[in-house]
């Protein structure tokens, strides 16, 4: 199968996720079609054949656990679970363990136990010996009706006979255990039928009376083990050194070992992961739960299924042992399309392999919970996902969803009633009253400074125009490290922010001049986005896409302040390109969108680096370098182990990137050696910053940001307002603060420290500055 690392999978829409899996070959055409949003995988008619009194089909979310590497193999793990944070937690933890070499899992040959109860036995000890002496005869009878299972290497393997003590009225209780290898089947029906078949022989040999004949769900002859060994350095976060995180996890593990109340919650966390995979793969999660908790209670008190300790090298070592009998064949897999697709995605060869994957998922979920509990607390990552669930419960649609979630998080009141209140407030805002189209002179398409780096398709103009507006967004961005030096072939780190520019495009009458109108987010009109520039951009897009001479109306809804260093012009270009292409039914790849947006940026900024259009298009943190390659750049994803909070502060001073870029260029031309040395120093900071981000080392990242700010000041692109804001943020607890973007005004970014983002935002507000809160994820 293809790899389990899919960067920023969570940022994509459901449809985009399906398209990506289809392109990778994870989903075939039929499965891709079946998973389309709105398509029911299990219809009521099929469900009626699977259980009784059916009135419908109950749905639950199907997600993918990412980043898993188990015994050297990659797995995309399907998980069915409604609880927020489970899938995100296992994916994040799997990435951490992957960096340490992945999980190691092993399993016993999985045997089920069938129980035959014998009562009214005159001589229990003699009966026990007689049964053991006849074990071959008993096994032969048990296997006689299951030739196919025996041919596959399975079948009854042995018996045990246990004396359990006196019953109230029926003498000593004897129990025969029939040990059965059911191979890749769950095997309950097989074992029950074998117990039924041997009952008469058992009665004859024991001279007693057989009563119950049924399997046991305590599957302690099918144990599975998972292990993870994680170096201390990988456990470090921006606020906690690795040894403290390790010791906190060990201390939490000791708590579970000594206290059954804590052990119950500890094991529930493990089962959060295992049950989700069991449901997705059609396994009996109730039997799995029963076995796990019975096994945990086998000693003098209920105990944890996993333990965490340190080895001689100081590494954190996690070990999980539990009974886990699962199946990969049978009625559920073959009759339920959703289960079949889950098995296709997971791509395991046997039931034992599935059990080994499930054990690794359980250990990952356990580590995620213990790590959170021993550092920032379990609620830190849970509340955003909880807010999303609350927004859904309140009936929030896609158009307002993100805004409602953010308001809930800011207010700290994550309740359904609050979400409804926020939604009502947002929907009560007046809708934009759009003025009738006015004639705007059409600008001639300028010649691009460089030819497009990705060929554009010819327009596929439909015979009938689509109804309604076509809406798309472009992401704003911050540059963490590397402004200005990136223009000269050095590296930079950039990340998207939650603020976007949205463009709505509606086709007009042929020959009508294009109209571009800019709206405030509250629905009031504002001055059009740089009319001359915006129309040049629109004309270039039309020319590159080969559009006919038909008018369009473009409504722009921008959350991004312009001339602030947050990539508003690139976000505008990307939104307009995508919405226009959608309006005229033109297929564009992300690379083509980014390439055309770069040409638009040349109109706006003269000599852009290419970083703004790249982030605006792809919407993920990247390490960027401008090159002479056909694409014009090299990019690589940067994945952080946990979200990193960033405060954006606006200086209120508008500054055009084109002006500061031109000023730096003039200085560089005057003394290249001096400025190249500064660019090299910044590039070195960028390399160290990328490593710090991947480790989640916010203290190191903050120090690098502070140094970078000093070098940007040396380039003379800072300003008094920016320097004041940086100083305020640092005094308020920021680990690092610097300008972002072109400088000369615009914005700063501040990396929140242990006290969080609120003290920084409060201090900047008191000084009269506007702030936004975002995260690097």
Which residues are catalytic, by number? 83, 268, 284, 382
**CA distance to 514, 546, 670, per residue, from 570 (Å):** 20, 21, 30
What is the distance between the alpha carbons of residues 714 and 308, in angstroms, rounded to a whole number? 49
Cβ neighbours of residue 770 closer than 8 Å, sequence gap 6 or more = 649, 650, 652
What is the CA angle 657-659-663, rounded to 5?
Answer: 115
Return the structure tokens found at 644.
Answer: 């990193």
Kindly report the three-state secondary structure assignment for every residue of 465-501: CCCCCEEEEEEEEEEEECCCHHHHCCEEEEEEEEEEE
Cα-based distances in Å from 431 to 84, 255, 331, 517, 557: 34, 56, 54, 14, 12
Question: What number of other Cβ atoms are within 10 A of residue 58's Cβ?
Answer: 7
Instruction: Please state, in angstroms and rounded to a whole number, the distance separating the CA atoms of residues 126 and 448.
Output: 97
| Residue 447, burial from CB neighbour count under 10 angstroms (0-12, 13-18, 19+) | exposed
Tally of CB atoms within 10 A around 666: 9
Q: Are strands 104-107 and 111-119 parallel, antiparallel or unpaired?
A: unpaired
Bridge partners (DSSP) listed for residue 162? 175
Exposure class string for 327-338: b at 16+ Cβ within 10 A, else e: bbbbebbeebbb
Backbone phi and psi for residue 281, each to the nearest 5 degrees, phi listed first: -95, 10
- CA-to-CA distance for 289 and 271, rounded, in angstroms? 7
| Helix-helix angle 398-411:379-393, to 10 degrees | 140
| Contacting residues for 414 by C-beta, under 8 A, at least 6 apart | 383, 386, 387, 390, 408
Q: Encoding tokens for residue 671?
A: 């003394």
Containing H/E element for 527?
none
DSSP readout, 162-180?
EEEEE-SSS-EEEEEEEEE
Residues 6 or more apart in contact with residue 235 via CB below 8 angstroms: 96, 242, 245, 246, 249, 316, 371
> How far is the C-alpha of 454 from the C-alpha of 118, rounded, in Å?
78
Structural tokens at position 771: 């702030």
CA distance 240 to 231: 15
Q: In the block, which residue shows the tokens 């219809």?
A: 43
- CA angle (239, 747, 743) in 5-degree steps: 115
- Closest by alpha carbon to 615, among 485, 748, 740, 725? 740
> Could you identify the residue written with the tokens 């098995």?
343
Q: What is the 3-state secondary structure (H, E, C) of 582-609?
A: HHCCCCCCHHHHHHHHHHHHHHHHCCCC
Longest alpha-carbon distance in the chain:
108
The sign of the torsion formed by the CA atoms of 302, 304, 305, 310 equals: negative
CA dihedral 261, 266, 272, 277 (to 10 degrees): -130
């Amino acid at each position: 199968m293809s790899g389990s690392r899919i960067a920023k999978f969570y940022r994509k829409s459901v449809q985009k996720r399906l398209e990506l899996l289809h392109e990778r070959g994870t989903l075939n055409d039929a499965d891709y079609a079946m998973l389309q949003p709105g398509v029911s995988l299990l219809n009521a008619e099929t469900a009626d054949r699977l259980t009784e009194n059916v009135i419908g089909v109950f749905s639950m979310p199907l997600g993918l656990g990412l980043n898993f590497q188990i015994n050297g193999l990659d797995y995309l793990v399907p998980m069915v679970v409604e609880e927020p944070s489970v899938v995100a937690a296992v994916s994040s933890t799997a990435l951490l363990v992957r960096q340490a070499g992945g999980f190691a899992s092993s399993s016993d040959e999985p045997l089920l136990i069938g129980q035959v109860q014998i009562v009214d036995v005159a001589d229990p000890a003699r009966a026990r010996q007689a049964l053991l002496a006849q074990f071959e005869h008993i096994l032969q009878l048990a296997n006689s009706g299951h030739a196919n299972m025996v041919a596959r290497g399975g079948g009854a393997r042995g018996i045990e006979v246990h004396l359990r003590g006196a019953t109230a009225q029926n003498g000593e209780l004897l129990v025969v255990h029939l040990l059965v290898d059911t191979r890749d089947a769950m095997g309950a029906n097989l074992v029950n039928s074998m117990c039924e078949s041997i009952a008469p022989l058992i009665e004859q040999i024991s001279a007693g009376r057989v009563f119950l004949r049924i399997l046991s769900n305590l599957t302690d002859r099918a144990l599975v083990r998972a292990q993870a060994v994680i170096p201390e350095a990988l456990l470090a976060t921006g606020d906690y050194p690795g040894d403290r995180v390790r010791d906190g996890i060990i201390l939490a593990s000791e708590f579970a070992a000594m206290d059954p109340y804590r052990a119950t919650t500890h094991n529930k966390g493990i089962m959060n992961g295992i049950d989700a995979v069991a449901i997705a793969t059609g396994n009996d999660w109730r039997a799995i739960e029963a076995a796990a908790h019975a096994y945990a209670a086998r000693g003098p008190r209920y105990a944890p299924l996993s333990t965490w300790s340190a080895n001689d090298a100081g590494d954190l070592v996690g070990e999980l042992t539990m009974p886990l009998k699962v199946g990969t064949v049978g009625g559920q897999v073959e009759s339920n399309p959703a289960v079949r697709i889950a098995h296709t995605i997971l791509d395991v060869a046997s039931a034992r392999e599935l059990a080994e994957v499930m054990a690794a998922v359980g250990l990952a979920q356990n580590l995620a919970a213990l790590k959170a509990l021993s550092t920032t607390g379990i609620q830190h990552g849970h509340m955003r996902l909880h807010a999303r669930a609350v927004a859904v419960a309140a009936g929030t649609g896609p158009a307002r969803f993100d805004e409602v979630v953010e308001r809930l998080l800011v207010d700290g009141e994550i309740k359904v009633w609050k979400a409804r209140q926020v939604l009502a407030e947002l929907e009560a805002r007046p809708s934009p009253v759009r003025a009738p189209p006015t004639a705007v002179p059409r600008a001639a398409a300028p010649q691009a400074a460089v030819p497009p780096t990705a060929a554009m398709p010819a327009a596929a103009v439909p015979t009938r125009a689509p109804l309604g507006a076509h809406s798309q967004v472009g992401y704003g961005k911050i540059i963490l490290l590397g402004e200005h030096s990136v223009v000269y072939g050095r590296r930079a780190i950039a990340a998207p922010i939650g603020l976007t520019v949205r463009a709505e495009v509606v086709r007009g009458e042929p020959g009508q001049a294009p109209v571009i109108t800019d709206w405030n987010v509250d629905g009031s009109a504002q001055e059009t986005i740089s009319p001359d520039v915006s129309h040049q951009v629109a004309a270039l897009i039309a020319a590159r896409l080969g559009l006919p001479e038909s008018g369009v109306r473009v409504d722009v809804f921008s959350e991004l302040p312009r001339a602030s260093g947050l990539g508003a012009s690139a976000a505008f270009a990307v939104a307009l390109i995508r919405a226009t292409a959608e309006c005229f039914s033109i297929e564009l790849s992300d690379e083509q969108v980014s390439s055309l947006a770069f040409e638009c940026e040349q109109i706006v900024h003269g000599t852009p680096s290419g970083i703004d259009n790249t982030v605006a298009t792809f919407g993920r943190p990247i390490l960027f370098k401008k090159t002479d390659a056909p694409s014009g750049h090299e990019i690589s994803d940067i994945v952080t182990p946990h979200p990193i909070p960033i405060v954006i502060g606006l200086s209120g001073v508008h500054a055009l990137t084109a002006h500061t870029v031109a000023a730096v260029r003039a200085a560089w031309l005057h003394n290249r050696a001096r400025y190249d040395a500064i660019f090299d120093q910044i590039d070195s900071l960028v390399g160290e910053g990328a490593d710090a981000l991947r480790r989640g080392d916010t203290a190191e990242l903050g120090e690098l940001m502070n140094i970078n700010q000093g070098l940007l000041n040396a380039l003379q692109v800072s300003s008094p307002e920016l320097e004041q804001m940086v100083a305020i943020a640092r005094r308020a607890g920021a680990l690092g603060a610097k300008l972002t973007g072109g400088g000369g005004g615009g914005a700063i970014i501040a990396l929140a420290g242990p006290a969080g983002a609120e003290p920084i935002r409060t201090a900047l507000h008191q000084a009269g500055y506007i702030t936004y809160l975002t995260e690097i994820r």
